[in-house]
């Protein structure tokens, strides 16, 4: 592993541990409620459908199948809450790759090393991708253990398919944050752009089926390619996941080209 990538991972370790523990505890805590829901399908299904307005249910992913293992995982973990936490983790870590050190003045010192700007960015990005992958693996193992403990009845392969999509979604938003930081050198702007796009794309995708004007906009939403293939029910939606991966590659190329040409004061 390259020296700069290894050092960057060391710098991330405390944040990674904190985010990993938080995501795992959140997933485990909510998964522990499944036996109550499974054993009282009429009560919880009706309560879920009547407690929230239709628009809120759509934003949260719907509760129509919440009493099944796959439906529970989809509505409670993979539709909104865990992606939200994981995206926050990705944005926080990605901002430390270029924008934060540039604002603090330490990036100029790093750029004096005998490496090209492109290599510096790619090694920082490689550390980001590995960090997010580590969180994804740890949380996947934890979800599998929690699912087994409460007998969710969802095949491991289906959970893996959903978690793979989660990783690709989060990697895309993390890459977007790094790219905006590489273009502008401002961590607040990188955070704002990614945050606004994430929220807007989620809302558009959730409401697209009922609001015709949003239907074409949903094709620009990463959440469409993350969730429309229903991996918890049908396995890996290869075409959708390739779109997420392609978007990530485009952002990485954009980041390299922009950072290589921009004046960062050295």
The reply to whether 36 falls in a domain is no
Predicted local distance difference test score (pLDDT) of residue 145: 94
Q: Select the highest-mean-pLDDT range: 62-76, 203-217, 244-258.
A: 244-258
- What CA–CA distance (Å, rounded) separates 242 from 207? 24
* b/e burial code for range 69-102 (CB count within 10 A of at least 16 → b): bbbbbbbbbbbbbbbebbbbbbbbbbbbbbbbbb
The reply to whether 169 falls in a domain is yes
Classified as helix, coil or strand, 62 is: coil
Which residue bears the tokens 């989660």?
166
Q: How confident is the model at residue 36 (pLDDT cuts 50, 70, 90)?
A: confident
The answer to whether residues 4 and 123 touch, using CB atoms and an 8 Å cutoff, is yes
Name the token pair of 90.
Answer: 């990705």
Predicted local distance difference test score (pLDDT) of residue 110: 79
Q: What is the mean pLDDT of residues 29-49?
A: 72
Nearest to 161 by CA among 220, 206, 226, 223: 226
The reply to whether 60 falls in a domain is no
CA-to-CA separations, 151 to 41, 114, 123, 144, 148, in angstroms, rounded:
15, 54, 41, 10, 5
The reply to whether 174 falls in a domain is yes
Task: Count the domains in the chain.
Answer: 1
Q: What is the mean pLDDT of residues 237-261?
A: 95
- What CA–CA distance (Å, rounded) separates 255 from 153? 42
215 or 97, which is more confident? Answer: 97
Q: How confident is the model at residue 188 (pLDDT cuts 50, 70, 90)?
A: very high
- What CA–CA distance (Å, rounded) separates 90 from 132? 7
Predicted local distance difference test score (pLDDT) of residue 121: 93
CA-to-CA separations, 33 to 15, 44, 63, 159, in angstroms, rounded:
28, 11, 15, 18
Nearest to 88 by CA among 169, 178, 170: 170
Predicted local distance difference test score (pLDDT) of residue 126: 95
CB atoms within 10 A of CB 193: 18
List the domain range (segments joined by +) for residue 247.
3-30+75-261
Q: Is the pTM of this model over 0.75?
A: yes
Predicted local distance difference test score (pLDDT) of residue 266: 47
The answer to whether residues 214 and 141 touch, using CB atoms and an 8 Å cutoff, is no
Predicted confidence (pLDDT) at residue 206 exceeds the cutoff of 90: no
- What CA–CA distance (Å, rounded) separates 191 from 180? 9
Q: What is the mean pLDDT of residues 173-195?
A: 95
The answer to whether residues 179 and 251 touch, using CB atoms and an 8 Å cutoff, is yes
The reply to whether 66 falls in a domain is no
The reply to whether 187 falls in a domain is yes
Predicted local distance difference test score (pLDDT) of residue 60: 61
Burial of 164 (0-12, 13-18, 19+ CB in 10 A): middle
Q: What is the mean pLDDT of the chain?
A: 87
Predicted confidence (pLDDT) at residue 53 exceeds the cutoff of 80: no
The answer to whether residues 174 and 98 touch, using CB atoms and an 8 Å cutoff, is no
The reply to whether 41 falls in a domain is no
Predicted confidence (pLDDT) at residue 45 exceeds the cutoff of 60: no
32-46, 106-120, 214-228: which range is least confident on average?
A: 32-46
Predicted local distance difference test score (pLDDT) of residue 258: 92
Q: How confident is the model at residue 184 (pLDDT cuts 50, 70, 90)?
A: very high
The reply to whether 37 falls in a domain is no
Q: What is the mean pLDDT of residues 40-55?
A: 58
- Chain segment 64-123, per-residue pLDDT in tens: 677 888 888 988 899 888 999 999 999 999 999 998 888 888 887 777 778 888 899 999
Predicted local distance difference test score (pLDDT) of residue 113: 78
- Chain segment 119-165, per-residue pLDDT in tens: 999 999 999 999 999 999 999 999 999 999 999 889 999 999 999 99
């Amino acid at each position: 592993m390259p020296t700069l990538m290894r050092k960057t991972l060391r710098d991330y370790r405390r944040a990674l541990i904190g985010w990993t523990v938080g995501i795992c505890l959140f997933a485990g805590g909510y998964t522990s409620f499944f036996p109550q829901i499974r054993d009282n399908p009429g009560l919880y299904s009706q309560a879920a459908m009547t407690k929230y307005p239709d628009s809120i249910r759509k934003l949260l992913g719907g509760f129509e199948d919440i009493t099944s293992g796959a439906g529970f995982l989809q509505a409670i973990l993979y539709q909104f809450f865990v992606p939200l936490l994981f995206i926050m983790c990705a944005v926080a870590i990605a901002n430390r790759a270029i924008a934060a050190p540039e604002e603090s003045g330490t990036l100029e010192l790093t750029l004096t090393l005998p490496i090209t700007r492109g290599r510096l960015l790619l090694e920082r990005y490689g550390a980001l991708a590995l960090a997010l992958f580590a969180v994804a693996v740890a949380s996947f193992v934890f979800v599998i253990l929690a699912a087994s403990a409460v007998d969710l009845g969802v095949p491991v392969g289906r959970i893996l398919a959903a978690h793979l999509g989660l990783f690709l979604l989060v990697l895309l938003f993390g890459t977007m944050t790094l790219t905006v930081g590489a273009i502008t050198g401002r961590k607040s702007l990188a955070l704002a752009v990614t945050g606004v796009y994430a929220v807007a794309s989620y809302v558009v995708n959730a409401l697209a089926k009922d609001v015709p004007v949003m239907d074409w906009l949903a094709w620009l939403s990463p959440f469409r390619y993350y969730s429309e293939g229903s991996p918890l029910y049908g396995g890996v939606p290869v075409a959708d996941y390739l779109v997420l991966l392609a978007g990530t590659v485009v952002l990485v190329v954009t980041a390299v080209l922009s950072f290589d040409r921009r004046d960062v004061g050295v």
